[in-house]
Amino acid sequence: TLLEVVRTTASIMGSEAQKVFDAKDASSMLMELRGTFETGKTKSYEWRVSQLKSMLKMTEDCEKEIVDALHSDLSKSELESFVYEIAMLRSSLTLTLKELNRWMMSEKVKSTITTFPSSAEIVSEPLGVVLVISAWNYPFLLSLDPVVGAIAAGNAVVLKPSEIAPATSSVLAKVLGEYMDSSAIKVVEGAVPETSALLEQKWDKICYTGNGRVGRIILAAAAKHLTPVLLELGGKCPVVVDSDINIKVTTRRIIVGKWGCNNGQACIAPDHIITTKDYAPKLVDALKLELEKFYGKDPLNSEDLSRVVNSNHFSRLTKLLDDDKVSGKIVHGGQRDKTNLRIAPTILLDVPEDSRIMSEEIFGPLLPILTVDKIEDSFHMINSKEKPLAAYLFTNKKKLKEQFVRNVCAGGLLINDIALHLAVPTLPFGGVGESGMGSYHGKFSFDAFSHKKAVLYRSFAGDAPARYPPYSPGKLRLL
Ligand code: NAD
């Protein structure tokens, strides 16, 4: 009958046209989380520990599901997924569980003679309900590592994973729903409309990982509510290579830091190399040699290389390569496979500094090498550009290391290796200038999601009359 047809059509349309998560949904989700936060539940040490332990268990129970999702989103190798996403999250959780009690303790600090007698302390308190917006390149780790900090500090939290890694986003929504306390920890999946709906709300902190263009949108939205932000952005991470090095170790570390980390799609992957004119040919030869050892003669089919995340990024990267200013500068690689979204490890020599590839973050398997007359000139070259998230130097020279540390401005510096500073939780991880603001990892994550409350205790003793009006000249002399 006609009625049945209408009903069927309505039900098909209902199931197809999924309702978009809008500002009203975001507002009621936030209200629910605020309600939970206000009960004080998330503040207790026991709740924080139970949630962190539960997340740790999830990483064990669901390891295969996570690895499969990462493979589906980026064709990441199992080893890479395990080491850089799962194991790193586990070590963050283990450290937090071990140290949390100490981190939560108030810190006694000296007070002054002016307030004598008194005692002072700094009390870490949770900020409230925080929003974590994450990127696609390490979609598991970069979603959950900030959440670890948020929970450790006693907050309720909403996670918005990246829609560009949809399989991981959906696994995150599922497993967090199963393992975590859903009255305090929620996942919202989606893209710009959903994120915009979330950004209309008044959060107590927003942690955003991604690019600087969207970083500005986040900052503007946060400004409306005076919400503090942690922005983990990117940039063009330079690698300075001196001639006084162990060339084999250097090239192997550069290769694994560039192509072995998600095929260059990593925020701290080398963006370009700077070396001297004289040394460049030797470096290129050594890179070629080791690249072939790692990924064979047909790198487009290597299972150890991730693919480019999607066709937009594939065409962005191939445009960088096909730019007239750089297309003749390829000294290695350059092969591509549009169907499978693969680009071979590619080295370019002496690209002009005003080319597109040198004007934007590459975030893919292309590695330009720039040359300078003297290696010290590279420091000036780095400082003349936007501040990168990481800067690297390979050298044996003590003086050069000192100059690098003293003069080069970046989120973090690493000498004689690539990316490993990120694995040291006693170091803050974050950018400066265009590469971001604020930092996290280890105790810095706890601090990033805490308010440091200043508390001064006085007694009724030591009440100086000179403090109180009327302020006669005699009282002033007493002070
Ligand atoms: P992305 O496209 O996944 O975007 C990140 C998040 O922003 C997503 O959750 C997305 O939904 C949201 N978003 C996108 N457009 C938006 C809009 N108009 N309004 C509101 N939200 C929006 O990731 P990406 O930006 O392509 O990630 C790559 C960038 O992230 C690179 O610059 C990289 O260097 C940087 N990055 C930094 C770190 C770090 O720790 N500092 C880590 C990884 C990546």
Find the residues whose C-beta lies inside 6 A of ligand 1. 133-137, 142, 160, 162-164, 191-192, 195-196, 209-211, 214, 217, 232-234, 267, 361, 363, 389, 431, 436
pLDDT of residue 17: 55
pLDDT in tens, 164-217: 999 999 999 999 999 999 999 999 999 999 999 999 999 999 999 999 999 999
pLDDT of residue 19: 80
CA 212–ligand 1 middle distance (angstroms): 8
Out of 172, 203, 233, mutate this one to test ligand 1's pocket (max ligand atoms within 8 Å of CB): namely 233
* The dihedral formed by the CA atoms of 314, 319, 325 and 330, expressed in degrees to the nearest 10: 30
Out of 162, 198, 306, 310, mutate this one to test ligand 1's pocket (max ligand atoms within 8 Å of CB): namely 162
Is 452 strand, coil or helix?
strand
The catalytic site residues sit at 232, 267
Strands 238-241 and 118-126 turn out to be unpaired
At position 193, the amino acid (one-letter code) is: P
Q: To 5 degrees, how large is the angle CA 49–CA 50–CA 51?
A: 90
DSSP letter (8 states) at residue 19? P
Nearest residue (CA) to ligand 1, atom 40: 232
CA 356–ligand 1 middle distance (angstroms): 20
- Mean pLDDT in each 10-residue stretch from start to end of the chain (479 residues)? 41 55 98 98 98 98 98 95 97 98 98 94 98 98 98 98 98 98 98 98 98 98 98 98 98 97 97 98 98 96 95 98 93 97 97 95 98 97 98 98 98 98 97 98 98 97 88 78
Out of 92, 194, 230, 267, mutate this one to test ligand 1's pocket (max ligand atoms within 8 Å of CB): namely 267
Q: What are phi and psi of 183, to 5 degrees?
A: -80, -10
CA 232–ligand 1 middle distance (angstroms): 9
Instruction: State pTM to two decimals.
Output: 0.94
